[in-house]
Structure 1
Amino acid sequence: MRPPDFWAQGPDHPAARCLAPLGAAYGALAARRMDRPGAAAGCPVVCLGNFTLGGAGKTPAALAVAALLVELGRAPAFLSRGYGGRLAGPVQVEPGRHGAAAVGDEPLLLARRAPTVVARDRPAGAALCRSLGADAIVMDDGLQNPTLAKDLTLAVVDGPTGLGNGLPFPAGPLRAPLARQWRHVSGLIVVGAGAPGEAVAREAERRGLPVHRARLVRESDDLAGRRCLGFAGIGRPEKFFATLAETGAEIVGTRPFPDHHPYRDREMDALASEARRLDAELVTTEKDAVRLPPAYAGGVRVLRVRLVVDAAEALSGQLRSALAGAP
């Protein structure tokens, strides 16, 4: 889904006020579920989650955390629900064999870096991770899922948007009331600069939680001066369009789609036709690229980014402490 505009317009917006009772009921159920005890994984579990629905940068954060675990001498595996995929799992993701329709888009990106398991039953998925040789598990999403016990949970927050209007879905973007979510969080990763994210960071620090500031940086690109038609189906397409602008490209148009959007041939045909008319190149995200129809898989420019943690040694230290304290 595409976030409605009123989520960013304060809790007194008429639509937010109208939906607040439904949000309160949804949030209460989600909070009670979060409080349930989880099963032991048999190895340390580091969870990257969101207070809100989508768009914060969990997957780049999960990749950065896995890289730090490798530096600490661990052999991590990724565990994902596989949102948008049809396979319930547990199954190891094989990019040459599986597509986004089977396992979801994010697991395909993770599987390029480390063994990746998709499982709606998280304890069963953890068992498969261990059988693949993992001695640490990185959960991409799962803050609100109580079925697997976590040794460290890091909430990822988008700096420019923060927590929106601060209300639970559907009145706002929160997955559960914020006060109930804090008790399950060990630290914060704030991605990008912005007053909304800084407000969340100050609250985390007030609660004695570490705050790790990070930013998405472009990997090598050669788009400066080139005419580009950008499209993206991610949590915040405008974030991608801003990154595309930073390359120096001449952006002749942008086309947003809902998060995890499965692109159809007719949609891509229309985009390609428009790009030809504008004498432009089609450019999208790495996450979108794995959802393109086969005919377009190699014909669209991909702008890749990675997460850089400003003080990586502090995050590494928190990971080291969690590993030492894990059973």
Structure 2
Amino acid sequence: MSHGSERGLAARIEYNWYHSARGNLWLLPLWLLFVAVSGLRRLFYRLFPPSGQITPVLVVGNIAVGGTGKTPLIQYLVARSSALGLRPGIVSRGYGGKADSYPLRVSADTPVEESGDEPRLLLASGAPVVVDPVRSRAVAELEHEVDIIFSDDGLQHYAMARDAEIVVSDHTRGFGNGWQLPVGPLREPISRLKQADLHLVNGQDFTIVADSLVDIISGREESPDFLRGQTVHAVAGIGNPRRFYTTLREAGVQVIEHPFPDHHAFVADDLKFDDGLPVVMTEKDWVKCSGFAPSGSWYLKISAVPGPEARTQIDNLLKTLGKRNHG
């Protein structure tokens, strides 16, 4: 099967995730295998739970494949926990990165090829970030220097002990056709939500707002509607690029869409369009493209803004975990 045919098949499968499952029923044998293996894995860790740690761990993840606004929400949690007098830290698997050794403590000098894009972006929150495919090792690396640890994803990483969970979902896409992989987009059944401490819906409990457009070359910041009335190449290698394109259009920008796979390893040719139009990308993609982005390139800086009820729920959870850490 050619790469084009593979991409077309993958696109059809994903389309059916958010429409009728009927078109994916030919995947039932793989679905049965996935459900059996994931169910047995959950049962194993329920019977033999991992040992805990000194510092409380709050997992921020999702049960569906694709972007839900998890990264900006973690940035909000870091800022809010700091405001409450806690010292936050972040652990991540570092998807898309590969280092020579782990655990990897991310710094401004760490190549994104080693850390992965999300950990490199989360470093801007000011909290220490440690990457390790074995998240429990990353937790052990951090736990004696922070008061609370946020796990970027890892909801299904049951080998890592956790004290609380926040499940994040997207209001627009929801849980698709409600089936687990590969017939549907779910990593775990919807009933898994009952076990989480909070379920926050992007577009309902919190919103993602555009803060500014940042010139990649100079670092100059402008208002999100700075390119109003212009046509731009909108580049997005994220789980749900539709939200990014919608945000740009709401700012009055004419968008030429360039979606790439989530965590795409960009190269300079990906940003060459030879027509002089501005290029706008997501903040997560910027950390991978900053070294070769052409003149006239921008990234959209965003943040998560919880509603009043969600803010209260988040504060109560953070305070509870903070008290647990301080006895």
TM-score normalised over the length of structure 1: 0.85
**Contact preservation (8 Å) 1:262, 1:292:** no
Q: Which residue is equivalent to 1:94?
A: 107
- Write out per-residue CA displacement over residues 141-191 of structure 1, whole angstroms, 9 at most, x where no aligned residue: 011001221111000001100111111111111112233x23541111100
Cα distance in 2 between the residues matched to 1:46 and 1:297: 39
User: Does 1:315 pair with 2:314?
Assistant: yes
**Contact preservation (8 Å) 1:7, 1:164:** yes
Cα distance in 1 between the residues matched to 2:163 and 2:229: 47
User: Does 1:8 pair with 2:18?
Assistant: yes
Unaligned segments of structure 2, at least 5 residues:
1-9, 213-223
TM-score normalised over the length of structure 2: 0.85
User: Does 1:136 pair with 2:148?
Assistant: yes
**Contact preservation (8 Å) 2:107, 2:123:** yes
Cα distance in 2 between the residues matched to 1:298 and 1:286: 17
Match for 2:313: what amino acid?
Answer: A
Cα distance in 2 between the residues matched to 1:319 and 1:173: 30
Cα distance in 2 between the residues matched to 1:321 and 1:66: 15
**Contact preservation (8 Å) 1:33, 1:144:** no
Q: Which residue is equivalent to 2:30?
A: 22
Cα distance in 2 between the residues matched to 1:297 and 1:186: 44
**Contact preservation (8 Å) 1:34, 1:145:** no
User: Does 1:185 pair with 2:185?
Assistant: no
Q: Which residue is equivalent to 1:63?
A: 75
- Write out per-residue CA displacement over residues 259-305 of structure 1, whole angstroms, 9 at most, x where no aligned residue: 11111222222xx31x42xxx21001000111227221775210111
**% identical aligned pairs:** 32
Cα distance in 1 between the residues matched to 2:75 and 2:294: 23
Instruction: Write the mapping of 1:50-199 to structure 2, written as runs, cut at 5 A.
Output: 50-87=62-99, 89-95=102-108, 97-113=109-125, 114-131=127-144, 133-179=145-191, 181-193=192-204
Closer, same or farther: CA 39–297 of 1 in aligned 2, 3 Å: farther
Cα distance in 1 between the residues matched to 2:189 and 2:254: 42
Deviation above 6 Å: which 4+ runs of structure 1?
Answer: none
**Contact preservation (8 Å) 2:278, 2:296:** no
Q: Which residue is equivalent to 2:288?
A: 291
- The partner residue of 2:207 within 215, 230, 233 is 215
Q: Which residue is equivalent to 2:265?
A: 262
Closer, same or farther: CA 29–75 of 1 in aligned 2, 3 Å: same
- The partner residue of 1:282 within 279, 283, 286 is 279
Cα distance in 1 between the residues matched to 2:92 and 2:298: 27
Cα distance in 1 between the residues matched to 2:296 and 2:253: 18
Cα distance in 1 between the residues matched to 2:294 and 2:279: 12
Match for 2:315: what amino acid?
Answer: S
Cα distance in 1 between the residues matched to 2:78 and 2:39: 28
**Contact preservation (8 Å) 1:69, 1:76:** yes
SS in 2 for 1:112: helix
RMSD value, Cα? 1.9
- The partner residue of 2:300 within 292, 303, 315 is 303
Unaligned segments of structure 1, at least 5 residues:
194-212
Cα distance in 2 between the residues matched to 1:93 and 1:126: 14
**1:89 Cα offset (Å):** 1.8
Q: Which residue is equivalent to 2:228?
A: 224
Cα distance in 1 between the residues matched to 2:294 and 2:188: 37
